[in-house]
């Protein structure tokens, strides 16, 4: 469980402090698939980095399983938007996955076998010995997902992981992500600016926005599982939820314009 | 297979062009446009090279040895200094002024000082060439470390790597291609500076041979020395390229391909 407790972030701008987000409060229960949406520049990535322990907030705190997050912990893993820049280019796909595993704990042969298991899970067993630069964007992101899990994390923080992919690869990766989540075996938090993707994937959508970003809306996504690219997106409930999310988003934007 | 074919054809084309240039050169010499004795024909150069060949290997070896030793010392020193700069901010702040003061100094200007310190021996040549070739290594290592994608460092942090582990397992390998580029430049500089020092202090080496030949009016020996210098330079470049291409293979075509 991740607990965000009146988290605020400011950054210096023209000699004074400008707020990025203000007084965010929410919990992510274990096994939830939470999507965070909001306009670009609203601090979604910064929020995710605070949750990962990569960035320190100005005030407030993040608790992960009741412990304060001050630095990255192995239970929480982050998947970045630009997988080509987060994979080690001098290592093969498999070596990238092995890299994430704790050193010394098991023999390198065992690690390699376990890593192969993760590669199979993301559908890349045949590309194990390829280098990242030999793989397509979608495949690179699959390697990044495998690596994130190989580190032993059961909570993944995903920062617009599919933003640079084409529609086909994106749909495949979304379904892979749902399979990895396994109906609540892991906790996923995804940041995206794509409302449809947020609804398709998640249990719950958190809408951020406003001049100094606050939580604009918190919507439970009661779409049935398993999700299916055509039927789920064609569900009348999907449209209703989409309208609700958009209302919250435009409400935040409206306040910004005032 | 196709690729090997193309490189074969490319090589053939390159050789044909060299042959064309040689023919042009001979033509110019034979035509009498250039006054007698000012431009030797390729045939004369080749004949001189063969005639003087017994004297060349010892001198070539002297040049080669000192170039490589200077490259080794200067290269490692420069890389070490550059890595220190990139990795440790305190080290950078402390040494920045001293380094920026030394770096613009033209290396050949150090020859008189070198003579005073080391006398006119091997040490002089090596020290000056090493000084000159340290700087490209310094800059490439420093910028290589600075230019490492911050996302790789974030990844290392999320995977729980400590500082020492991050430096060894992420920073150094990520900066490696840039460092190799610096080494390639450094080898050329070490060779050029070594030969310059030999020309100024003609005691040993191909540069010294060329210098004494010019002063004595032995044009054949001069041609032979220059041709030998060209061949040594070619050899050095080729060896380093072969060695680094293999090391950089895993980094992708933009690093391992090309010249």
Residue A179 located in a structural domain: no
* Three-state SS at B85: helix
Residue B191 located in a structural domain: yes
Residues A69-126: tens digit of each pLDDT: 988 888 899 998 887 788 999 999 999 999 988 766 678 888 898 899 999 999 998 9
Look at A64-68, B125-129, B226-230, B251-255 and tell me which has the smallest mean pLDDT.
B251-255
In the beta sheet, which residues pair with residue A78?
A157
Residue A214 located in a structural domain: yes
CATH of the domain at B161: 1.10.3720.10
Smallest CA–CA distance, residue A50 to chain B, in Å, is 12
Count the domains in chain A: 1
Residue A192 located in a structural domain: no
How does B39-72 read in b/e, with b if 16+ C-beta sit within 10 Å? ebbeeebeebbeebeeebeebbebbbbbbbbbbe
Count the domains in chain B: 1
Domain range for residue A214? 1-75+200-258
Q: Residue A54 and residue B251: Cβ atoms within 8 Å?
A: no
Residue B70 located in a structural domain: yes
What is the spatial distance between Cα A141 and Cα A127, in angstroms, rounded to a whole number? Answer: 13
Residue B27 located in a structural domain: no
pLDDT of residue B5: 57
What is the spatial distance between Cα A207 and Cα A43, in angstroms, rounded to a whole number? Answer: 12
* Of the candidates B113, B105, B129, the residue with the CA atom closest to the CA atom of residue B198: B129
Residue B167 located in a structural domain: yes
Mean pLDDT, residues B129-148: 94
With cut-offs at 50, 70 and 90, classify the pLDDT of residue B74: very high
This prediction has a pTM of 0.82
Q: Residue A90 and residue B157: Cβ atoms within 8 Å?
A: no
* Three-state SS at A190: strand
Give the count of beta carbons closer than 10 Å to the beta carbon of residue A98. 20
Residue B16 located in a structural domain: no
> Mean pLDDT across chain B, nearest whole number?
89
Residue B49 located in a structural domain: no
pLDDT of residue A254: 54
Q: Sheet containing A59-64: give its strands across.
A: A16-28, A2-13, A59-64, A67-68
Q: Which of B154, B155, B250 sits opposite A90 (nearest CB)?
A: B250
Look at A8-12, A252-256, B210-214 and tell me which has the smallest mean pLDDT.
A252-256
Q: With residue A23 as reference, give the H or E element that holds it.
A: strand A16-28
Mean pLDDT, residues A239-258: 76
Residue B91 located in a structural domain: yes
* Three-state SS at A128: coil
A8, exposed or middle or buried, with CB in 10 Å at 0-12, 13-18, 19+?
A: middle
What are the φ/ψ torsions at residue A27 (nearest 5 degrees)? -115, 145
Q: Sheet containing A204-209: give its strands across.
A: A76-79, A155-159, A187-192, A33-37, A204-209, A214-220
What is the spatial distance between Cα A53 and Cα B18, in angstroms, rounded to a whole number? Answer: 61
What are the φ/ψ torsions at residue A7 (nearest 5 degrees)? -80, 125
Q: Residue A86 and residue B152: Cβ atoms within 8 Å?
A: yes
Q: Residue B154 and residue A90: Cβ atoms within 8 Å?
A: no
Percent of chain A topping pLDDT 70: 96
Q: Does residue B167 surpass a pLDDT of 60?
A: yes
Residues B234-253: tens digit of each pLDDT: 999 999 988 888 888 888 77
């Amino acid at each position: 469980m991740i607990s965000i407790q009146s988290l605020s972030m400011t950054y210096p701008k023209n000699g004074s402090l400008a707020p990025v987000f203000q007084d965010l409060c929410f919990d992510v229960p274990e096994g939830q698939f939470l999507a965070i949406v909001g306009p670009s520049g609203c601090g979604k990535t910064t929020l995710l980095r605070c949750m990962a322990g990569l960035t320190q907030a100005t005030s407030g705190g993040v608790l992960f399983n009741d412990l304060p997050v001050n630095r990255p912990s192995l239970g929480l893993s982050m998947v970045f938007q630009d997988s080509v820049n987060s994979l080690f280019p001098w290592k093969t796909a498999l070596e990238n996955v092995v890299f994430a595993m704790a050193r010394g704990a098991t023999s390198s042969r065992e690690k390699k076998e376990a890593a192969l298991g993760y590669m199979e899970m993301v559908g890349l067993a045949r590309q194990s010995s390829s280098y990242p630069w030999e793989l397509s964007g979608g495949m690179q992101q699959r390697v990044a997902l495998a690596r994130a899990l190989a580190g032993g994390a059961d909570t993944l923080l995903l920062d617009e992981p599919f933003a640079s992919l084409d529609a086909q690869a994106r749909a495949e990766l979304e379904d892979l992500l749902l399979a990895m989540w396994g109906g609540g075996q892991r906790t996923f938090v995804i940041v995206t600016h794509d409302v449809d993707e947020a609804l398709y994937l998640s249990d719950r959508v958190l809408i951020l926005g406003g001049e100094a970003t606050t939580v604009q809306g918190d919507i439970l996504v009661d779409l049935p599982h398993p999700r299916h690219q055509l039927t789920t997106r064609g569900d009348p409930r999907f449209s209703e939820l989409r309208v609700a999310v958009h209302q919250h988003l435009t409400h935040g934007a409206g306040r910004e314009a005032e | 297979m196709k690729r090997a074919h193309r490189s074969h054809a490319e090589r053939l084309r390159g050789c044909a062009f060299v042959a064309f240039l040689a023919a042009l050169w001979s033509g110019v010499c034979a035509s009498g446009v250039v006054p007698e004795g000012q431009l030797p024909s390729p045939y004369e150069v080749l004949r001189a090279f063969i005639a003087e060949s017994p004297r060349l290997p010892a001198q070539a070896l002297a040049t080669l040895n000192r170039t490589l030793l200077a490259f080794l010392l200067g290269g490692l020193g420069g890389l070490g200094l550059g890595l220190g700069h990139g990795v440790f901010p305190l080290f950078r702040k402390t040494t920045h002024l001293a380094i920026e003061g030394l770096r613009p100094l033209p290396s050949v200007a150090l020859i008189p000082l070198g003579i005073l310190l080391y006398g006119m021996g091997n040490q002089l040549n090596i020290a000056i060439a090493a000084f000159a070739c340290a700087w490209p290594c310094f800059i490439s290592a420093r910028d290589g470390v600075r230019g490492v994608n911050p996302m790789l460092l974030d990844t290392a942090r999320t995977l729980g790597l400590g500082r020492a582990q991050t430096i060894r397992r992420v920073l150094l390998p990520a900066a490696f291609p840039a460092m190799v580029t610096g080494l390639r430049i450094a080898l050329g500089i070490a060779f050029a500076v070594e030969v310059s020092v030999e020309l100024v202090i003609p005691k040993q080496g191909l540069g010294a041979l060329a210098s004494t030949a010019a002063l004595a009016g032995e044009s054949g020996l001069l041609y032979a020395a220059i041709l030998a210098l060209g061949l040594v330079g070619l050899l050095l470049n080729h060896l380093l390229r072969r060695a680094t291409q293999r090391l950089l293979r895993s980094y992708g075509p933009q690093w391992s391909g090309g010249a």
